[in-house]
Amino acid sequence: MDESERSAHPLEWDDEGHPVSALFGDLFHSRHDGQAETRHVFLAGNSLPARWSARPYFSIAELGFGTGLNFLETWRSWRATRPFAGQMSFTSFEAFPLSLDQMRRALSRWNELAPLAERLLDALPSTWPPVGEERPVRLDRQTQLTVIVGDARETVPAWPGKADSWYLDGFAPARNPQMWNEELMKAVARRTAPGGTFATYTASGFVRRSLEAAGFAVEKRKGFAGKREMLVGVKRD
Ligand SMILES: C[S@@+](CC[C@H](N)C(=O)[O-])C[C@H]1O[C@@H](n2cnc3c(N)ncnc32)[C@H](O)[C@@H]1O
């Protein structure tokens, strides 16, 4: 076993080739169509691309980098719609990163994203940075990605940045409640720029209450595919 496999996220692969976390017993994306889920939940849920189209700088932060699919679909959409000379910074907080081989296998089903997936995998270091360290990777002249390794309950409060949009993408709250607790949601709210937003696929009452208590005006939207509801919100003044 080499170093990157030792530090990989323990995974099982289902019959259709979707990765399932053996740590949390949960999928990284909808079996229905993960790429369309990213567009519906995280991009549309944060009113993107419309909100970045008039801005010289836009910052997105994510809880849970996982396979990198949310980032890749965001990068694809950003490249197609970004303003001239606009800059996008994407910061993702991840406690149990996948190895590059695991990411390559998980991302291989998305033909449309294949060229960008190759660029991403080439640009990422073969071993992840030490816990809490920020090592931004420039993917093109207008796009920067930073994956901060470590438990989000520690790394988000220590992050000096502010996001215009948050993607809240921990595993299901019932399987991973620590990724949704009120303290972490407060840290997310403190690291949200004025007028900033979040989106998440869950409509759990516990998550909604944590986000409201943290200072977001929360709204239910139609969920992706079979899901009845999801949550979006704007930081209150
Ligand atoms: C649903 S997956 C994220 C999917 C991802 N956004 C993608 O595009 O593939 C949830 C992720 O949260 C990570 N995670 C779970 N608990 C965490 C914690 N306490 N802090 C940071 N990351 C955590 C898991 O390792 C997993 O990669």
Task: Please give the average per-residue pLDDT across 10-31, as a whole number.
Answer: 95
User: Which residue has the CA at smallest separation from atom 10 of ligand 1?
Assistant: 170
Cβ–ligand 1 distance for 176 under 6 Å, the answer yes
Cβ–ligand 1 distance for 134 under 6 Å, the answer no
Minimum-distance ligand 1 atom for the alpha carbon of 67: 9
- Confidence at residue 3, expressed as pLDDT on a 0 to 100 scale: 46
Distance, CA of 178 to CA of 12 (rounded, Å): 22
Helix (H, G, I), strand (E, B) or coil at 157: helix
Cβ–ligand 1 distance for 90 under 6 Å, the answer no
Distance, CA of 50 to CA of 46 (rounded, Å): 9
Cβ–ligand 1 distance for 67 under 6 Å, the answer yes
**What pTM value is reported for the model?**
0.97
191-204 pLDDT, tens per residue? 999 999 999 999 99
157-170 pLDDT, tens per residue? 999 999 999 999 99
Best CA proximity match to 130, nearest among 166, 108, 155, 113: 155
- Is domain 3-235 annotated with CATH 3.30.2420.10? no
